[in-house]
Chain A
């Protein structure tokens, strides 16, 4: 089984107050911690589980600068056999179309039986990369999977739908699967894993080695471009209710009653 997993290194914004930089297009980085994209953690774990049960080789890919290598080291620490990092200054802030072109180029002539990606990323959350890459490779894809089993040249998946529904889908290998959070319990990184990771290779590729010309990059970037980002307008008179949970609930109820339309 040849397995590939794609991961992304993203800012962890759960506790951060985000500020828009002076250019109106980027977030003020500064003190923001960066982590592996949450969905990708589950994709990585699933990849390791498949490798553990069926054997084979797991390659992890990442598009990002040197600081992003941390997420690749995590892949190696939990069980990936090798890692590939693709970077070119032209890929900074690139849209999913440009990133997919780089991902396709990084795979090159290699043939993987199973390619896993997170269903989306927590920064811009397009959820485009996986299926786009599958189309570029000419393999079927299935998105938003929360249960999967590889068996007899096929992968049987359950996709999560809205309102407590799911659907079962069968896909022939080679295939690309995008993973929803909660599909497994991503393992913690062990000290031994970290030490082993140091001995495994991280290959570097640039735009030339993944075969993307400046012209191609420009075409892909043209498809979707960022105009600007802004802080959402804060509702007038936001009020934080204080007190014990019971008191907060009571105050909340009173306010909603007063505002009308409820109860």
Chain B
């Protein structure tokens, strides 16, 4: 067992860090304020090969693993979570396509993403179906050779930007098993009947696009079904086992970024004639924050490197995602505290990081859902 990154992984980590530091910093504040991510960043990230890093080469990817993707996400979020989420989510949904899509689907939908020509999304959540995904009511009915889709989706990342969306739909309401009633269907967003409305006013990751979708008699070819009918639930559970790795990397990135800021601040800020860093209470705080970050990181790297060996340990992945989210929230909180009143001003980046961190405990399974997953593995269905 090796705990060292390979030289290639170190190079990838550095490449991501340099790009983010070089390009994100000048946009971050405006992107947060105006709720958008500049187009040029999407273009640059794709040109540098950051999109589809874990896709096999035949689909235009770099043929690398989740570990490498996590390293990139971590570095992006460390510099700015909002822009990190905007660029990191371009591939959102692709894991499902890679795992369950047909060869034609993969060849059609994946390469444009790596080239910066397309953005993806995946839509499950509805107003009345959050953590309980079996309650999803968006209906897809087969009419000859086409699916006819009706319904609404809520909180959809990239809803306004995506070229195609994997839509989680109710296809078999009469199946006796709640877990076999749904299917995943790819929907091109230029089809009639598709409408997206931007959701404004998010607390954090404001650069990232979020939309409410409305689907009215939307027709897509039968072949847009991913895998088998009725397997949507199982597909999404497998999907979350992959995306939760990315989300854990986000939590670690935002925490590391906050720790960087706090460290800089306490070394420079002088109170009572000494830098804050000379106070033991502050030293302990920094030590605790740094330890939390490293502990979360170790858990994620273990889960991600297992995933790259084909072992998706969903208990470990849920643990990594929950811990990383909590680390993100706690460390940004402590970092803001160390900034004192200055931390409360938008002029200081820590204010934004504090707001950005919270989402990691909410999306892709709330922390409560993660704990449920963990407990179920340990205790069985008690």
Residues in A lying within 8 Å of B, measured CB to CB = 15, 17, 69-70, 73-74, 77, 188-195, 197-198, 240
Docked pose: A197 CA to B14 CA in angstroms = 15
Q: Cβ of B310 < 8 Å from any Cβ of A?
A: no
Contact with A along B25-48 (1 / 0, CB 8 A): 000000000000000000010011
Q: Cβ of B312 < 8 Å from any Cβ of A?
A: no
Contact with A along B186-217 (1 / 0, CB 8 A): 00000000000000000000000000000000
Q: 20 A-B contacts, Cβ less than 8 Å apart?
A: A15-B264, A69-B7, A70-B10, A70-B11, A73-B7, A73-B11, A77-B11, A77-B15, A188-B15, A188-B19, A188-B48, A190-B15, A190-B47, A191-B48, A191-B49, A191-B62, A192-B62, A194-B8, A194-B12, A240-B268
Docked pose: A74 CA to B48 CA in angstroms = 14
Most buried by A among B14, B53, B264: B14
Which residue in chain A gives the minimum CB-CB distance to B11?
A: A194
Instruction: For the complex of A and B, list the 9 residue pairs with the smallest distance between their C-beta atoms, beginning with the closest.
Output: A191-B49, A189-B15, A190-B48, A194-B11, A190-B49, A192-B49, A191-B62, A188-B19, A240-B270
Chain B binding surface SS class: helix
Q: Cβ of B228 < 8 Å from any Cβ of A?
A: no
Task: Specify which of B18, B50, B267 is in contact with A191 (CB 8 Å cutoff).
Answer: B50
Additional A-B contact list (12), CB under 8 Å, known A70-B7, A70-B14, A240-B268: A69-B7, A70-B11, A73-B7, A77-B15, A188-B44, A188-B48, A190-B48, A193-B49, A194-B11, A195-B63, A197-B11, A240-B269
Shortest distance between the CB of A127 and any CB in chain B (Å):
25
Q: Cβ of B22 < 8 Å from any Cβ of A?
A: yes
Which residue in chain B gives the minimum CB-CB distance to A239?
A: B270
Chain A binding surface SS class: helix
Which residue in chain B gives the minimum CB-CB distance to A17?
A: B267
Docked pose: A69 CA to B269 CA in angstroms = 37
Which residue in chain A gives the minimum CB-CB distance to B277?
A: A17
Residues in B lying within 8 Å of A, measured CB to CB = 7-8, 10-12, 14-15, 18-19, 22, 44, 47-50, 53, 62-64, 264, 267-270
Docked pose: A74 CA to B12 CA in angstroms = 11
B48: chain A residues at CB < 8 Å are: 188-191
Which residue in chain B gives the minimum CB-CB distance to A77?
A: B11
B44: chain A residues at CB < 8 Å are: 188
Which residue in chain B gives the minimum CB-CB distance to A238?
A: B270
Docked pose: A240 CA to B7 CA in angstroms = 41
Docked pose: A93 CA to B8 CA in angstroms = 27
Docked pose: A192 CA to B267 CA in angstroms = 39
Are B8 and A198 within 8 A (Cβ)? yes
A77: chain B residues at CB < 8 Å are: 11, 15
A191: chain B residues at CB < 8 Å are: 12, 15, 48-50, 53, 62, 64
Shortest distance between the CB of A157 and any CB in chain B (Å):
27
Which residue in chain B gives the minimum CB-CB distance to A74?
A: B11
Are B14 and A195 within 8 A (Cβ)? no
Which residue in chain B gives the minimum CB-CB distance to A73?
A: B11
Most buried by B among A15, A70, A73, A189: A189
Docked pose: A192 CA to B14 CA in angstroms = 14
Are B22 and A188 within 8 A (Cβ)? yes
A198: chain B residues at CB < 8 Å are: 8
B264: chain A residues at CB < 8 Å are: 15
Shortest distance between the CB of B121 and any CB in chain A (Å):
23
Shortest distance between the CB of B344 and any CB in chain A (Å):
14
Docked pose: A240 CA to B271 CA in angstroms = 10
Shortest distance between the CB of B88 and any CB in chain A (Å):
14
Are B49 and A188 within 8 A (Cβ)? no
Docked pose: A227 CA to B18 CA in angstroms = 36
Shortest distance between the CB of B13 and any CB in chain A (Å):
10
Are A188 and B18 within 8 A (Cβ)? yes
Task: Specify which of B11, B47, B63 is in contact with A189 (CB 8 Å cutoff).
Answer: B11
Shortest distance between the CB of B120 and any CB in chain A (Å):
19
Docked pose: A195 CA to B48 CA in angstroms = 12
Which residue in chain A gives the minimum CB-CB distance to B57?
A: A195
A73: chain B residues at CB < 8 Å are: 7, 11
Which residue in chain B gives the minimum CB-CB distance to A76?
A: B11
B22: chain A residues at CB < 8 Å are: 188
Shortest distance between the CB of B122 and any CB in chain A (Å):
23
B270: chain A residues at CB < 8 Å are: 240
Which residue in chain A gives the minimum CB-CB distance to B61?
A: A191
B14: chain A residues at CB < 8 Å are: 70, 189
A188: chain B residues at CB < 8 Å are: 15, 18-19, 22, 44, 48
Which residue in chain A gives the minimum CB-CB distance to B64?
A: A191
A190: chain B residues at CB < 8 Å are: 15, 47-49
Docked pose: A11 CA to B254 CA in angstroms = 25
Shortest distance between the CB of A193 and any CB in chain B (Å):
8
Most buried by B among A69, A188, A190, A193: A188
Docked pose: A74 CA to B63 CA in angstroms = 20
Q: Tell me whether A189 and B18 are in contact in the complex, defined as CB-CB below 8 angstroms, given that A17-B267, A240-B268 are known contacts.
A: yes
Docked pose: A77 CA to B15 CA in angstroms = 10
Which residue in chain A gives the minimum CB-CB distance to B347?
A: A244
Docked pose: A73 CA to B6 CA in angstroms = 13
Docked pose: A108 CA to B353 CA in angstroms = 53
Docked pose: A139 CA to B11 CA in angstroms = 35
Shortest distance between the CB of B51 and any CB in chain A (Å):
9
Docked pose: A189 CA to B49 CA in angstroms = 10
B267: chain A residues at CB < 8 Å are: 17
B269: chain A residues at CB < 8 Å are: 240
A15: chain B residues at CB < 8 Å are: 264
Which residue in chain B gives the minimum CB-CB distance to A66?
A: B7
